[in-house]
Amino acid sequence: MKNKSKFKKIVVAYSGGLDTSIILLWLKEHYNCEIIACCVDVGQHQQFKKLYDKVKKDGASKLRIVDAKEEFVTEYIYPAIMANALYEDKYYLGSALSRPVIAKAIANIVKEENADAVCHGATGKGNDQIRFELAFKALIPNIKIIAPWREWNIQSRADAINYAKEKNIEIPITKSKPYSSDANLWHISYEGGILENLKTKYDESMFEMTVSPESAPDKPTYITIMFERGIPVAINGEKLQPIELISVLNKIAGANGIGRMDIVEDRLVGIKSRGVYECPAAVVLYTAHKELESITIDRDTLQFKHFLSSEYARIVYNGLWFSNLKEAFDAFVITTQKYVTGDIELKLYKGNVISSVKNSKFSLYFEKLATFEKDEMYNHKDAEGFINLWGLPLKIQSMFRK
Ligand code: ARG
């Protein structure tokens, strides 16, 4: 079905992979308008420059490259750390956090180029389509969204390869992998293919950011992370820029076998899916941050914040990054981070992150109060009245409901 006059310009969220390469030509054939490919760098270690010529051969008029790494760390990863956002208690949200930053960069290009449609290569079964499209609805509400995977007849990777061959599209030379993966500064995910069977034991060689705990060094690595108002700013006393801080930590923690997980998670579209992830820096930073919060945030705020963490993760996972609710959560979280400043020393050892020394000028931990020895502030006798009143409802219930 040719629809010649529908759009004048389409911006494509382009990754350089097989799917989005096919998309360029497919769009050209279906919509016969100007196609602009846009790559957003969120730390996926790709040689984008090589793609300038390729996109033209595949049907686009040009390639735009946006470096969003720093924004990804400071505006997306740091808020997630401050919130301790962990989906279903396990997933560090690597892909979920990257989609809104990619979508925002694409939306800016749509505006700059004065395009009237935007296109992404996410399939119709996953979370990413939701995250991209919700972000587009929030940022460029009047722009038409095209999702080829929900429109075309291509149903599988084999179909996609055939289409590419038929149309003479150069298939990107990546090591062919029996699963799908998504990489950025914060994580690499592995899903689908051989991993769909929960009994499959994948090959060790799949991992790129971590060594196995068995092959990690026999001696522990001690590392000190310094936070200022909930944001990590230095490692072992050395101040680091955001991208460097995450990269350095990925290396140190990855070398100690930290950050691998093999989980089943609930996609928003109602499917339980298996995901294998590696996110070494994430595990270390969340651990350190929570340790620091334990001494710098008062009990009630800390416990309430804990409830909120899973809800925060849930809305981010479900694509609501640019929502009022998320903005309101951030306001709460930022307020809680006012005193989350200090240093946490951790011991990294064969896949484990073990907390050792905690230090903050705002610490609420009062050794003289915590002591088992006699102290000036706490009167043991006060506990008696407190317990009587705290337990009063229990006592009454027991008396009247016997
Ligand atoms: N299951 C994870 C999530 O929904 C990872 C998704 C990875 N995306 C991909 N296109 N491979 O966040």
Domain CATH for 25: 3.40.50.620
Please tell me the residue having the least CA distance from ligand 1 atom 5: 95
Same domain, 192 and 235: yes
- Single out the residue of 236, 264, 233, 270 nearest to residue 73, CA to CA: 233
Whether 121 lines ligand 1, by a CB cut-off of 6 Å, is no
Residue 189 shares a structural domain with residue 329:
yes
Q: In this structure, is residue 394 part of a structural domain? A: no
Q: Look at residue 60 and tell me whether its pLDDT is greater than 70.
A: yes
**DSSP 8-state secondary structure symbol assigned to residue 181:** E
Q: How far is CA 282 from CA 92, 276, 373, in A?
A: 7, 15, 39
Last residue of a domain, one of 114, 146, 176: 176
268 and 155 in a common domain = no
- pLDDT value of residue 134: 98
Residue range of the domain that includes 161: 9-79+87-176
Which residues have a Cβ under 8 Å from the Cβ of 270 and sit 6 or more positions away? Answer: none
Q: For residue 127, give the ligand 1 atom closest to its CA.
A: 4
Report the chain's mean pLDDT, rounded to a whole number: 94
Residues 168 and 189 placed together within one structural domain of the fold: no
Using CA atoms, how far residue 126 sits from 265, 271, 292, 318, 341, in Å, is 12, 9, 35, 11, 38
Give the integer Cα–Cα distance in Å for 249 and 243. Answer: 10
Whether residue 201 is predicted with pLDDT greater than 90 in this model: the reply is no
Domain end position, chosen among 147, 176, 205 = 176
- The answer to whether residue 3 scores a pLDDT higher than 60 is no
Ligand 1, atom 10, lies closest to the CA of: 182
Question: 195-226: string of b/e by CB count within 10 Å (b at 16+)?
Answer: beeeeeeeeeebbebbbeeeebeeebeebbbb
Q: Are residues 147 and 291 in the same domain?
A: no
pLDDT of amino acid 5: 59
**Minimum CA distance residue for ligand 1 atom 8:** 182
Residue 368 lies in a domain: no
Residues 244, 219 share a domain: yes
pLDDT in tens, 288-303: 999 999 999 999 999 9
Do 253 and 305 belong to one domain? yes
Residues 339 and 261 placed together within one structural domain of the fold: yes
Q: What is the pLDDT of residue 56?
A: 94
pLDDT at 287 over 80: yes
CA of 22 to the centre of ligand 1 (A): 20
Considering only residues 367 and 219, tell me which one the structure prediction assigns the higher pLDDT: 219
DSSP characters for 319-374? T-TTSHHHHHHHHHHHHHTTT--EEEEEEEETTEEEEEEEE-TT----HHHH-SS-
**139 lies in the same domain as 247:** no
Select from 240, 3, 323, 193 the least CA-distant residue to 314: 323
The number of the ligand 1 atom at minimal distance from the alpha carbon of 181 is 11
- Torsions phi, psi for 357 (to 5 deg): -110, 135
The answer to whether 121 and 15 have CB atoms below 8 angstroms apart is yes
pLDDT in tens, 329-376: 999 999 999 999 999 999 999 999 998 899 999 999 998 888 888 878
Task: Band the pLDDT of 2: cuts 50, 70, 90.
Answer: low
**Which residue in 15, 21, 41, 128 is the catalytic one?**
128
Does the active-site annotation cover 19?
A: yes
**Judgement on whether residues 200 and 60 belong to the same structural domain of the protein:** no
Same domain, residue pair 99 and 55: yes
For ligand 1, pick from 131, 188, 189 the residue to mutate: most ligand atoms within 8 Å of CB: 189
Helix/strand/coil for 390: helix
Name the band, by pLDDT with cuts 50, 70 and 90, for residue 172. Answer: confident
pLDDT score of 151: 93
395 lies in some domain: no
Distance CA 361, CA 340 (A): 10
How far does the centroid of ligand 1 lie from the alpha carbon of residue 365, in Å? 40
Identify the band that residue 17 occupies on the pLDDT scale cut at 50, 70 and 90: confident
Cα dist from 193 to 126, 148, 176, 379, whole Å: 14, 21, 12, 63
- Residue 387 belongs to a domain: no
- In the chain, the number of structural domains is 2
Distance CA 315, CA 323 (A): 9
Beta carbon of 182 within 6 Å of any ligand 1 atom: yes
Q: At what angle do helices 299-317 and 324-336 cross, to 10 degrees?
A: 150
Please report how the helices 280-296 and 299-317 are oriented relative to each other, as an axis angle in degrees rounded to 10.
150
Q: Is the pLDDT of residue 21 over 60?
A: yes
Residue pair 257/195 in contact (Cβ under 8 Å)? The answer is no
Q: Is residue 372 part of a domain?
A: no
**Is the minimum distance from the CB of 95 to ligand 1 under 6 angstroms?**
yes
Please tell me if the CB atom of residue 41 comes closer than 6 angstroms to any atom of ligand 1.
no
Domain CATH number, residue 279: 3.90.1260.10
Q: What is the mean pLDDT of residues 41-66?
A: 93
pLDDT band at 175 (very low <50, low <70, confident <90, very high): low
15 part of the active site: no
Encoded tokens for 188? 């690499």
pLDDT at 173 over 70: no
DSSP summary character for residue 17: S
Name the domain boundary from 141, 176, 211: 176
pLDDT value of position 174? 63
Atom number of ligand 1 nearest to Cα 267: 4
